[in-house]
Structure 1
Amino acid sequence: MRVEAPPVLPGCDGEATGSGLNGQVPQSELCDLWDGHPPIRADAAVAFARMNEAYSARFGESICITDGYRSYAQQVAAKAAKPTLTATPGRSNHGWGLAVDICADGYAGERWDWLKAHGPEYGWDNPEWAREGGSGPYEPWHWEFTAAVAQIDDH
């Protein structure tokens, strides 16, 4: 008899069709993470939660997140507040629910080393453009669900 493991995110099946527009992703495509953080796309959420399980086992606490999915209105507000650090509204991977921003303690020292080493195993990475010397602003806090971002970029 096979015993099913409990879902990594209760109420989230990890299925996403990719429907909607940037900043207008239907609620049915999104899943909440933990501690009341903004949701992200369901497939990205399950992968991030699996990564968080391993991170929590290592550090004794969850990955601290400051931001996730942004509606179009939230993207406009973010651009007004941080014009040099925020994508043009409608072009942000936050608007697809495929990006998170982590807290400052997560992109330094041992925690950063762990995320850089293990994030890609779960489909998450700090993109090349956001790295020191990359083509965009240096944003070590910005992480993306890489396979889904690549699919969007291919369209």
Structure 2
Amino acid sequence: MTNVTNVAISGDIQSQLLGQTTEHLHYLTDTLAIHKEMLNAYQALSDAAKRDGLSIKIASGYRSFERQLHIWNNKFLAKTPILDKHNKAVDTAKLTPYQIVQAIMLYSALPGASRHHWGCDIDVYADNLLDNNYQLKLEPWEYQEQGPLAPLSSWLQVNANSHGFYFPYDSYRGGVAAEPWHISFMPLAKQYQQHISLTQLCASLEDSNIAGKEVIIDNIEDIANKYIFNVNTVI
């Protein structure tokens, strides 16, 4: 494994958990950031992939509370479609508010509870495996046997762990869908997971304009057990 000794979180950990600060980040571009303590490990992973003919790119790195809130509200208010496990649009008119919450969380995290707030979780692809005009969808089939990104998926299964990365959503556990594109840097993720506070999360949601606020807060423990804590923790 990549040397990860002395990899520690500094600064306001609750603000980092909630996506309310950028103090822990290193910007790779003007709009793409990852955790500064993950930079060396990510570069080592990328270099190793390059030696094997794969050009790893990050589709999504750090995401702020406000960005996640925008995604959430658009889905809850039916401005953008909510997809089911078969990648079919859900008819939200037939659902209760809490059923809408659960439908969203199959693929999209609750603002304040997204692992992308941490900066140590990233969605990856390999641009050299895609045609020039291909529009990446981040759907499971793209990474499966017949998908264009299957070689990357196979490579990550073999090599991610040796660089400190693992798959938090390696399989469907009744909450979040399997996400073969989502990798997490264990030395940091483990620390963040230990500091998750539902009290702090609820406070941040109370202060926001999140759609479905009442039903979310009323069901926060069920949501946490099913969608926040219900992940793979084995590297």
Deviations 1:115-143 (A, max 9, x none): 1111111111111xx22333421211111
User: What is the 5 A alignment of 1:1-155?
Assistant: 17-20=9-12, 21=15, 22-27=18-23, 29-33=24-28, 38-59=32-53, 61-79=54-72, 80-81=74-75, 83-84=104-105, 85-103=107-125, 107=143, 108-127=149-168, 130-135=169-174, 136-155=176-195
| C-alpha deviation, 1:40, in angstroms | 0.7
Partner-residue secondary structure (3-state), 1:138 = coil
Shift, 1:17, TM fit:
3.4
Distance 1:145 1:15, change over 3 A: closer
Give the letter aligned to residue 177 of structure 2.
P
Q: Any idea what the Cα deviations from partners look like across 1:80-119, whole Å, max 9, x if unmatched? A: 3463311111111101111111238583422211111111
- Output the aligned Cα RMSD: 2.5
Change (3 A) 1:102 1:113: same
Give the drift of 1:68: 0.3
Choose 1 or 2 for highest CA Rg: 2
Ranges in structure 1 where 5+ consecutive residues have no aligned partner: 1-13
The answer to whether the 8 A contact 1:37-1:67 is kept is no
Q: How many residues align?
A: 137
Q: Distance in 1 between matches of 2:184 and 2:30?
A: 20
Runs of 4+ in 1 over 4 A off after TM superposition: none
91 and 133 in structure 1: CA distance in 2 versus 1, 3 angstrom threshold: closer
Task: Give 1:8's aligned residue.
Answer: none
1:16 to partner: Cα distance: 5.9
1:103 alignment partner, SS class: strand
Question: If the length of structure 1 is used for normalisation, what is the TM-score?
Answer: 0.75
Q: Distance in 2 between matches of 1:63 and 1:93?
A: 20
Cα distance in 2 between the residues matched to 1:77 and 1:16: 30
- Secondary structure at the aligned position of 2:191 is classed as helix
1:141 & 1:152 partners in 2: Cα distance? 20
Contact (CA 8 Å) 2:7, 2:188: kept in 1 or not? no
Identity %: 27
